[in-house]
Amino acid sequence: MAIDLSNSVVILDEAHNVEDTLREAGLCIFGELELYELVVMLNNYAITERSNWNLMEVVGMVGIVESATYLCDVAHSLLIIVEQVVNELREARKRFEASPGAKGAAGSLREADKFHLQDDTEFEITVQGPTGKYNNSKCIGCKPFFDNLGLSVVDFECATNLVTSFEKFLRGREGNDAPTERDRIQNLVDRLAELIHKLYAASQSSE
């Protein structure tokens, strides 16, 4: 909100809602099929031809135009990151399904049967998260997730610049697509931007 709170006393009404508000601000829920849709969309742009019509300005690290880059190259760079996220989540699901313990699929199914939970009940399948504890009970949060991805905070910072430029280019581009298809693509681009920005924010302070 760009409010300077230095040397101020802040009084919060309904303060019990603060934790939920903070969680929701950092929350990012994507279904498996939605992630695959992002992969398909990015792949479609990644295989487009290099031409002057597909040349776009890419914002640099300091917020200025750094270079002119083809749409296919930007889409390919973003595609690599989304594919790495999808692959890591797929591996996490496999580990969950193969685990015979209380933290695995079998234990979760026993819990669901015990408490008569619905078939679509959500289960947390990894210990990676803001409250996750690992070595010597130190809070490490999402660090193992980012380590497994092999991506650094610099990679995600670059990705935020790319997705911002990608989003801006597609918004200003005239196409022959039907309105419903344009809306579908725009929704996917919005979700892509949300995913990249949330990953960048989390990577800055993964614990």
Confidence of residue 46 (pLDDT cuts 50, 70, 90): very high
Residue 82 has pLDDT above 50, yes or no: yes
Average confidence (pLDDT) over 39-56: 92
Residue 13 has pLDDT above 50, yes or no: yes
pLDDT of res. 128? 47
Report the CATH number at residue 45. Answer: 1.20.1440
13 in a structural domain: no
Average confidence (pLDDT) over 115-136: 56
pLDDT of res. 94? 82
Given the DSSP bridges, would you call strands 55-59 and 65-70 parallel, antiparallel or unpaired?
antiparallel
Nearest CA to 126 out of 151, 90, 171 is that of 90
Average pLDDT over the chain reads 82
CB-CB neighbours of 141 under 10 Å = 20
**In which domain, by residue range, is 40 found?**
30-93+130-204
Q: How far apart are CA 10 and CA 163, in angstroms?
A: 35
Confidence of residue 61 (pLDDT cuts 50, 70, 90): low
41 in a structural domain: yes
19 in a structural domain: no
Q: How far apart are CA 72 and CA 166, in angstroms?
A: 10
Q: Radius of gyration over alpha carbons of the chain, in Å?
A: 20
DSSP 101-165: STTSHHHHHHHHHHTT--TT------S-STT-B-GGG-B-TTHHHHHHHT--HHHHHHHHHHHHH
What confidence tens digit (pLDDT) does each residue in 130-145 have?
455 555 566 777 788 8
Which residues are CB-neighbours of 53 under 8 A, at least 6 positions away?
none
pLDDT of res. 117? 64
Output the pTM of the full model. Answer: 0.74
What confidence tens digit (pLDDT) does each residue in 146-193 have?
888 888 889 999 999 999 999 999 987 766 677 888 899 999 999 999
21 in a structural domain: no
70 in a structural domain: yes
Average confidence (pLDDT) over 9-13: 89
pLDDT of res. 122? 64
192 in a structural domain: yes
139 in a structural domain: yes
Q: How many structural domains compose the chain?
A: 1
| 83 or 143, which is more confident | 83
Which of helix, strand or coil describes residue 70?
A: strand
186 in a structural domain: yes
Which residues are CB-neighbours of 195 under 8 A, at least 6 positions away?
28, 30, 38, 82, 85
Q: Which helix (H) or strand (E) holds 66?
A: strand 65-70
Asked if residue 85 lies in contact with residue 191, where contact means CB atoms within 8 angstroms, the answer is no
121, two tokens:
């009940």
Average confidence (pLDDT) over 11-17: 86
